[in-house]
Every structure is written in structure tokens, then in C-alpha cells.
Chain A
Amino acid sequence: MNRKSFGLRVIASGLLVAGMLTVAASVSTVTAAGAAKKLPPYLIGVPMPMTGAEAQAGTQIYNAELMAAQQINKHGGVLGHPIKLLEQDDACDAGTAVNAVNLLVSKGVKAFVGGYCSGSVLPTEPIISRAGLPYVMPAANSPELTTGGYKDMFLIDPSGSGDGAEAAAFFKQQGITKIYIIDDQSSFGVAIADAAAKDVAAAGGTVVDGGVQSIPATSNDFSAVISQIKSSGATGIYWSGYFSQAAQFATQLNAAGVIGPNGTAKFVVADGSVDATYLSAAGAAANGTYATIAALASGVGNVLGSHADKVFNLAYRKEFKSAPGPYSAFGYDAITALVLAAKHVHSIVPKRVNAGLRTLHFVGLTGKISFDKTGNRLGATMDLLEVVNGKYTLAKPQP
């Protein structure tokens, strides 16, 4: 991504706020007529990790969804129907998620907007697909989510399959040929790491140590892995898991002299590891490490600190007395996407909303939003970020 398009995004995101108000204004006229009839609420199911290891991210996205719903309701709701979010904890666990989604379907929700862990979204796709409901996912973005053949799945966060290609291009640009790839055994991490291994091979590099390695998501000690990296002679290290472990990995790699002032290797992480906690937990060890993330995502969620981002941050902080997470804006956009689709087709009937989502075009907090035939977000390009003095910056030159 270049500077110009970044600037455009800032303007585009600003337009959204205006756009939202226009929507709200036009909707409110409907409400005036509808108020007397007291239309039933528009029930939206939100399966989200509210407990367990990913409770932090889940809460941050759900809060943003609540914020979007409140603002829309304040201006008359969706075609006169007030939005009601029915939240169910999926605990980032496949079994819990299936129960949660079955419960929500039985409660008669008309759409789903939720999911953070791809591993707990996957098994719920057939249930939601069978019920014929639209599912807009703010953050889950494993490439598997749209390849299962289930219709009406829409990913606001661009599929993570681009992460590996961007990292492979970077390694090639740096002349790094021996690359150590490790995942966290989560559905997301494994999918990204496997994709990255193919991309590295295609770019002429070698995945050392006989292929992709993995470590349990609960592990906080990488010393054994670091010894392996040292003996393998790898000078590129790629992590596809989440930010908490990424920070520990970076800290320990730095202390072991593999990266940082005494090291020669480059450490690159996928978008699951882009988070303010990564910067604060790894501290100085984060400097000089790299991350790949969808270009439209890196302008929001406080990663690069754009103007629209600041406006959203302020509103979020005021409401919830805490900072939004990297995927909060995606949660906001997910609700907006659903509502605009419903408005576009003048109906909240799931079948028609699905059609509306397929032809949707709008500019959200995270940039232009529209979907391809499988429900992947269109126009996603990747950014390479470098941590400089404890902050994310666009790496130069971009591979």
C-alpha cells in the first residue's frame, strides 16, 4: 500500500461517519410511521468468546457491535425494527460454539454477526447455512471458512491467506532463504502457517527442520524451539499464532541473541499477532520485528492511528472506559454491513438480506467493503509493518 491510498482511506473512513448519519436519518422517517405499529426487534445472534483465552478480543468486538447497534437504534433501528443483539459465549471452543449457535437459531435470530476464533466458527457454519441465515464475521478469517461450500458466510476481516504470501515476499526481498515456520496448533494458526510454507517454497526459500513446526497455544516457553532454530541456521522466523505467545517468543528470541541487537534473524508474525499487547509485553524486543496484516486493517484498530481511528477510539473509550482492540472496528463494520444490506433490500428476511450482502458496496471504518462470490472481502491487499521504537510503522520498502 502506498501513502496516497492510505490517505484516501482516512478520508473514506471519515465519509462513513457521515454515511451512517444519512442512513440513520433516512431510516428514522420509516420509524416515525413504524413506531405506532411497534415492529418486533431485529434479533441478531452474536457467538463470541466472552470467557476463556480469547475473552479479551471477544469482548472488544462485541462492545463495538453494541455501539453500532445502539447508534442505529437511536436513529430508528433497521426499517423500524430495533436491533437486539443476543450474545452467547463460544469460549473459542468448537463444542461450546455449536451449542451456542443452536440455541441462538432456536431463539429465532434473523442473522449472525460474530465469531473470533476460526476454529469455533467452522463447525457452526453448516448449522447457520441450513437455517438459511446470513453470517457476517468481524474477525475470524481462516481461509477454510469460505472454502467449505457453505453459502452466506461473509468475512469482514480479509481471509488470512495473504499473510503468508506477503511474508514470503519479504523474506525473498531480504535474501533470506532458510525459514523456520511455527504455528500455535489453532485452526487459524495452522491454516496460515501451511499457506506460508507453500508461499515460501514458491518464492524459492526452504522451510527448515522438515516443515512447519507447532507449539501448543498454552505454552509460554520457547527455549526448546529456539535451540532448534539456532541449530537449523534459519535466518527467517515466521509465527502464525496469536499476540500473547508472539510477545513471549520475541522476548525469548531476543534474550537468546537470535533477533535484536545481537541477532541476525528476522522475526515476522501474521495478523493474529498485531496487537498493542504485543508491543507492551515484548517491549524493546519487539523493535525490528515485522508483521503482515491486511492493508485495510492496518489503518484501524489503533495500529497506525489514522484520524477515523481516533474518532472511533474516543467514542469507544467514552462508552466502555477501555481501549478498543484491533478488531473492534471490524465488529462495528460487521453490524453496519448487515444493516445496510437489509436496508438496501427493504427487508430483514434472511434470504433477502443474504442477497443484499452479496451486492453490498460501502465504505466502513476499515475501508471499502464488498464481498466476492464465496464471501471473502474484495480488494484486500497486504501491508508489512515494522515495529520501530515500540510503535507499528509501515515497513520500507514494501515487498
Chain B
Amino acid sequence: MSLLLNELGNGIFLGAFFGLVALGYSMVYGILRLINFAHGDFFMVAAFVSYTILGAVLVGHNSHGQWWTLLWVGVVVMVITGGLNMLANQIIYRPMRRAAILSLMIAAIGLSQILENGVLVTPQWGATYLVYPVTSPPAGFNLGSNHYTWAQLIIVLVSGLLALGTYFLVGRTLLGKAMRAVSEDRIAAMLMGVNVDLVIAIVFFIGGALAGAAAVMTGVYYGQINYLMGFTVGLEAFTAAVLGGIGNIGGAMLGGLVLGVVQSIGTAVFGSEWAIVVAFGALVLMLWFRPTGLLGERVARRM
């Protein structure tokens, strides 16, 4: 039993990452109905950008837990990644707004390739596994028979706060109301005076920024980055978004947590080689019995 509780803790930690990246998927899907396959690669680009900034800032004293430096670098990286995601929207998706959604998806896959190979050929980045300049100290606390580091706790808290912030932004503010309006009926929203292009741009910005935050935390906790790291994260985040009910803010976070927990418990019960099978099996069952996802009843309203 204590093993299952430990795996629950592990799963929640893992799920915090999935959920944060899933939010970006879900928001973009909610507003454009586009599955943005390049989203995971913005996460990867954010990791490399933060690697370079941290490397420049921390020359000489690279070590554990530079928390304040991490905080401001994290915010800068969120802004940069948000900006890049917004730029991608402006350059690629916006001119294609009247195109079939499949064309947009293929454009997203193309963008994903450009980002991966762009990082591959960039000097100082390339194909190597880069060691992140800041790593998290092993100090922490025990819960049950499991040891959790303070960094893990901070990561879960930061993810939770960012998700809550996004939830309130979409649910309680005028901007959020505009987003929901655009999501529901773009033409009607436009006729009501909503600046649709601006709203879509902001959604891309927020999605990118959340991926940026997840990237910095991944770098700090897992300690190394690689130009292909976005693919797996993207796939798992996409699964989380579908599991929770794609287009739904709370659903993305919940889906992330459920996916993380299912993978960890799956490891405990069936062994680690079955973890992914169990996770995707859960997804198949979910789609079978509840095609709209966990929080999917609101899917008609999407955001």
C-alpha cells in the first residue's frame, strides 16, 4: 500500500509537467481547434534559450539552487517563448486562418521540424546532451517511505499557481470572456467588437509562456536538455489534454495529473515497461466510454 502511495506522489509530480504543457495545447485547440504539434518544440526551444541565458548569467558560480536567478530567468524565458509562439501564429497560422484545419496541422508539423533542426544546426546548441547550468539540490523531506526534494515541491506549487492563474484569467476576466467568445463563435465575437486576432495572439502567448516555465523547471530538475526533448513531452501533454477534455483549462491540468499517476501506478502494478501501455490504455478506455474527456461536458463551449 505504501508503495502505491509513493507512486501516487511520484505521479502527481510528473503530472505537474504534463499539465503545464497540456494547457498550451488545450488553449490553442480551444480557440482555433488546431492541434498545435509544434507546441512541444517550443518547450524544447525554451529549454535551450534558458540554458544560454543561465550560462551567461551564472558564469563562475554554477551550482545548486540559485532560486532568485532562476525566478527572473524563468520569467524572461516565459516572455521570450510566449513571444516566439505568438510570432509563429502571426507568420504561419494567421495567414492560413481560412485554410482547412488539416493544412494548419501539417504546417504545425513542419514548424516542429524547423524548430528541432534549427536547434540542431545552431552553434553551441547542436545534437549534444547539454548539462543544465543549475541543478536542484537533493535536500528535501520524507513522506511515507519516499524522499521528495524541495525542488519537487516548488515545481508542483509553481505549476499549480500558473494553472490557477490561467484558470482565473480565462474564467473571470474580460480578456478571458473575449477568449471564450472567440472560441464559441469567431464571426459573432468579431461582430461584437472583439479584436479576434489580438485575442488569438494572446492565447498563443500564454500557451508558449507556460511551456517556457515547464522547460526551465525540467532543466533544473532533470539536469540535461536535448533538441529532441520536445517530442515526448509534446506527445504526453497532448495525451493529457485529450484525457482531461481538450479545450478545457481545468481538464488539461487534471488530465496531466491523471496521466502522471496512471503511469506511476502502472509501473508499480505491471512493471516499468508497461507504464506507457497502461497510460495509453487508459486513454483508449476514456475515449471509448467518455469521448469528450474527463471534464468534457463543457467541450461545446471549449474555453
Contacts and interface: CB of A to CB of B under 8 A. Distances in A.
A273 B232 CA distance: 21
Given A248-B223, A251-B223, A256-B147, A213 B271 contact: yes
Interface string A200-238: 000000000110011110111101110110110000000
A68 B273 CA distance: 41
Interface string B91-128: 00000000000000000000000000100100000111
Given A55-B127, A254-B138, A223 B13 contact: yes
A320 B236 CA distance: 37
Contacts of B131: 277, 280-281
Interface in B218-251: 218, 222-224, 226, 228-229, 231-232
A39 interface: no
B165 interface: no
The A interface, classified by DSSP as helix, strand, loop or mixed, is helix
B127 A59 contact: yes
A55 B131 CA distance: 16
B135 A228 contact: no
A374 interface: no
Given A56-B129, A214-B272, A227 B222 contact: no
Contacts of B128: 56, 277
A248 to B, nearest CB: 6
Interface in B9-45: 10-11, 13-14
Given A182-B272, A213-B271, A255 B138 contact: yes
Contacts of A51: 117, 120, 127
B113 to A, nearest CB: 10
B196 to A, nearest CB: 38
A244 interface: yes
Given A56-B128, A213-B273, A221 B3 contact: no
Nearest to B6: A227
B181 to A, nearest CB: 39
A224 B226 contact: no
A255 B149 contact: yes
The B interface, classified by DSSP as helix, strand, loop or mixed, is helix
Interface in B145-194: 145-147, 149
A39 B267 CA distance: 61
B276 A221 contact: no
A96 interface: no
Nearest to B136: A255
A115 to B, nearest CB: 17
A280 B135 CA distance: 11
Contacts, number: 107
A51 B127 CA distance: 8
Contacts of A380: none
Given A224-B263, A248-B223, A254-B138, A56 B273 contact: no
A272 B51 CA distance: 26
Contacts of B126: 56
A399 interface: no
A216 B273 CA distance: 7
A366 to B, nearest CB: 23
A224 B7 contact: yes
Contact of A277 (B129, B147, B232, B267): B129
The 5 closest A-B pairs by CB, nearest first: A55-B127, A224-B267, A223-B10, A255-B138, A224-B264
Interface of B: 2-3, 6-7, 10-11, 13-14, 117, 120, 126-129, 131, 135-136, 138, 140, 145-147, 149, 218, 222-224, 226, 228-229, 231-232, 263-264, 266-268, 271-273, 275-276
16 contacts: A51-B120, A53-B226, A214-B272, A215-B275, A218-B231, A218-B232, A223-B10, A224-B10, A227-B3, A230-B6, A231-B145, A247-B129, A256-B147, A257-B138, A257-B147, A281-B223
Interface of A: 51-53, 55-56, 59, 182, 185, 209-210, 213-216, 218-221, 223-225, 227-228, 230-231, 243-244, 247-248, 251, 254-257, 260, 277, 280-283, 285
Given A210-B271, A230-B146, 16 more contacts: A53-B226, A214-B272, A221-B14, A223-B264, A224-B263, A224-B266, A224-B267, A224-B268, A225-B267, A227-B10, A247-B129, A248-B224, A260-B138, A280-B131, A281-B223, A285-B138
